[in-house]
Structure 1
Amino acid sequence: MRLRNKPWAKDKLDQYPQYVISGPELLKGKWNGVFDKVQPIHIEIGTGRGRFVTEMAKANPEINYLGIEVQQSVIVTALDRLIEAELPNIKLLNVNAGDVTEFFEKGEVERIYLNFSDPWPKSRHAKRRLTYKTFLKQYEEILINQGEIHFKTDNQGLFEYSLKSFSEYGLLLQYVSLDLHNSNFEGNIMTEYEEKFSKKGHRIFRSEVKYR
């Protein structure tokens, strides 16, 4: 899908430092000081327009959320959601999450959400998939002991690859659904992509894995 450029997005992001954190590498090891309350931290990598992370923050006030998105023209919509919701337990990071260990210390994060990540379908691009082993190693370095990854996609190939990658890395599979919207899973919060794809009849795949 072609991304419409919004040249004014950067200026708007800069106007709301209470929501969009600049210099996140300087906060490594200090993230609980960014929020009003010291609470578990969950992050979403590739937060897009922010529907998922915002609704999660509304539903779970006892958890602090960080939405990470590299595209300014996309994350500015997430900012609009935050301005409207006025939630104290969510912040945004407009950075490339290629190496999350730049921003977080070991044990700072309790859970990572990967929702509808780029599938990078060509085999030569496997190393770019967010469930590739080098990314799994990074996640392990910032998560608490037995921290979790929750993963959703409509791409069956990516899902199968990811389950294999999780298993080979030694992660414990806690939950798997091959058709989330026709399962008994409760409390699902949809992303924008999820709603779009499910309306087209795509199955939604979901898994939860835990580090041992």
Structure 2
Amino acid sequence: MTIAVLGGTGDQGLGIAIRFVQAGENVIIGSRKAEKAEQAVEKVKKLLKDNSLPNLKGLNNEDAASKADILILTVPILAQKPTLDSVKEHVKDKIFIDATVPLQSNIGGTSMTYFSLWEGSAAERTEAILKGTNVKVVSAFNNISSSSLMKFDSEIDCDCLVSGDDNEAKAIAMELIEKIPGIKCVDAGPLEQARTVERITALLIGLNIRYKTHYGGLRITGLPDKK
């Protein structure tokens, strides 16, 4: 499968792209402009000290979405709807992983505060915007810090809470995400659970600030092993 990281030029998107490239997956970095995506590819090559990387390319978001099987959205909340509108015609029947979190820092406030959306969560907003495409929306990566993702020579000491209404799509997403060393996925339930999971991001940011680190995450304990 080919993975497109839409809006993948920031630290979160780059970190996800790097991790999946390292895992041997075919990855496309998407951006509003192809030139910016290509620059991100060159940055990844420098970071990984590898000038070839045949499994990585950069395209504009529309082309990236059309060529990929799994899409991952890594944009600030203000860019969420414009990005979704631009790729809507290319998402039919695909798996769409949304990592968006509505933080008040995007609207002039603090990154430690979440703000509520009418749809209930950013992931549910994505589902509403993409309605009619039979896309399978999954919420994930919200509680994995971009700093941990970009520390690509180390395992990530954090669980990834994953929610979604399509169990098959959720299972595929979880299997993919667990190719990133250290991450264990936890099935958080239906997509509406993203309302709770997204809020955890604001809490983790606050804890990282308080304890002067960038790598604080969470582990869910006491659950039985997955069969």
Q: TM-score range by the shorter chain?
A: 0.3 to 0.5
TM-score by length of 2: 0.45
Q: With CA pairs under 8 Å and 6+ residues apart, which has the higher RCO, 1 or 2? A: 1
Quick check: which one's helix share is greater? 2
TM-score norm. by structure 1 comes to 0.47
